[in-house]
Amino acid sequence: MLVNLKNLSILKVGVFLTLLLFFIPTLQASTTPYILSHDELIDPRAIAKINEIGTEVETKTGVKIYLFVKENYEIDDSLTMKEKFEKIKIYENQLLHNLNTPYVLITMSLDQTHLNLFTSPELDSIIDKNEILNDYIIPLLASKDKNKLFSKVSAALLNGYAQIGDEIAASKNIKLESSIGSGGKTFGTIWKVFMYFIIVTGLVAYTIAVLKSKKR
């Protein structure tokens, strides 16, 4: 799934997740077995929370949730969109080949504006790929602003990761102690309503302007 992150715009990262990051202790080493790569794009506090959720999910359900985040997949920009997509597909298939089932994998490449989610077959009916991406990750991603990118990527991926963990746990009638709750979904919903409001307001304003110009 190719997502044009550059054209997305958002006023701010979800307040709930941003505040959450400030109260999460940092890992001494910004690594966890659940983050295969992150190119230093994920805040250590988010990494700590991801590790906490990932560990609890694996311990209680046997499912591993992975993140693979790169600034660039090092794909030639001169290639056509179709050729780039094929390169990305090969790249991701190699990643999947090395994972033991059951698993969930979120991949992201900023320069290729690419975001994807994979599940092993036994989790297909549990994890809704489009829901996770469209409701929990994409709404928290904004235009590629280097000054804010760190916090946006961290909050968005933590939000999606936490929701995946909750859904896997719920499928086994388990409540995660590490869960961050429904705050991420709430923000995504508020953001959508806000965007619809702006669009409708803009259309109304445009209609009024047209009517006034005709009266003149």
How is residue 94 written in tokens? 């190699």
Instruction: Give 112-160 pLDDT, tens digit per residue.
Output: 889 999 999 999 999 999 999 999 999 888 545 554 777 788 889 999 9
Identify residue 23 by its one-letter amino acid code.
F
pTM of the model: 0.73
Does residue 82 carry a pLDDT above 50? yes
Ramachandran region, residue 112 (left: φ > 0; alpha: ψ -120 to 50; beta: rest): alpha
Distance CA 167, CA 171 (A): 6
Instruction: Return the pLDDT at 214.
Output: 60
What confidence tier does 65 reach under pLDDT thresholds 50, 70, 90? very high
Domains for the chain: give ranges and CATH numbers: 5-215 (3.10.310.50)
